Amino acid sequence: MQAIILLGPPGAGKGTVAEALEKTSGYIHVSTGDMLREAVKEGLPVGLEARSYMEKGELVPDDVIIGIVKERLARGPDDARYMFDGFPRTINQARLLDEVLESGGGRVSHVFLLEVPREVLVDRLSGRRICRNCGAVYHIRNIPPKVPGKCDICGGELYQRPDDRPETVLNRLEVFEKETASLVDYYDRKGLVRRIDAAHDREGTVAEITKYLMAGGSE
């Protein structure tokens, strides 16, 4: 089992970059945020536990996250290559990931830190809209749907994630600075961090990450 990690504040574009990379790189995209939103939608016990934290923009406790990630990895083949988005978010989670990978002879091969100025993050998050039906992502100004409020792909209704409302966005950015940014040191000490300018178009970000993956192999 091998892994790469997309690290960066909310709104850095981890999800959309991961979707594009999944198609070309062979890495399996694992987003703990998506898994939790799915669990909330389905009314699963994990979802009920996570929901109040998510709505406030706080981190869901490590034991919940570690449980869902372990379960997800156990379902994949032993030689799978994963691309994590939104995980790990604490040093505890990072250590657990290292243990799981090492127990199978694997490791984290790259950590891509997506860097975006704060004002761009706030604009991206508060303007983001998502299709309730197919999950396609829009932005009210940067990527507007053809018909306001409707998905171009499936006609589904567009909605705003509760945690993308302005009051929660600022808290999520603070939580990132306080709790998740220390992960950069953790991986920097291992020499794994590649800093990527992710303030512009998705294609440029994807191309730069792909360049590193090709150069460094995926062993």
- Active-site positions read 14, 89, 128, 161, 172
As a whole number of Å, the end-to-end CA separation of the chain is 10
When the beta carbons of 64 and 213 are compared against ligand AMP, the nearer one is 64
When the beta carbons of 65 and 73 are compared against ligand AMP, the nearer one is 65
Helix, strand, coil % over all residues of the chain, rounded to 5? 50, 20, 30
* Chain CA centroid to CA 204, Å: 18
When the beta carbons of 86 and 145 are compared against ligand AMP, the nearer one is 86
Residues near 210 by beta carbon (within 8 Å), at least 6 away in sequence: 21, 24, 25
> What minimum distance in Å lies between the beta carbon of 128 and ligand AMP?
11
Answer whether 130's CB lies under 8 Å from 23's CB. no
Q: What is the DSSP letter of 33?
A: H
> What minimum distance in Å lies between the beta carbon of 147 and ligand AMP?
26
> What minimum distance in Å lies between the beta carbon of 96 and ligand AMP?
11
Binding site for ligand AMP (CB under 6 A): 10, 32-33, 36, 53-54, 57-60, 65, 86-89, 93, 163, 172
**Residue whose CB is nearest to ligand AMP in the complex, by number:** 33
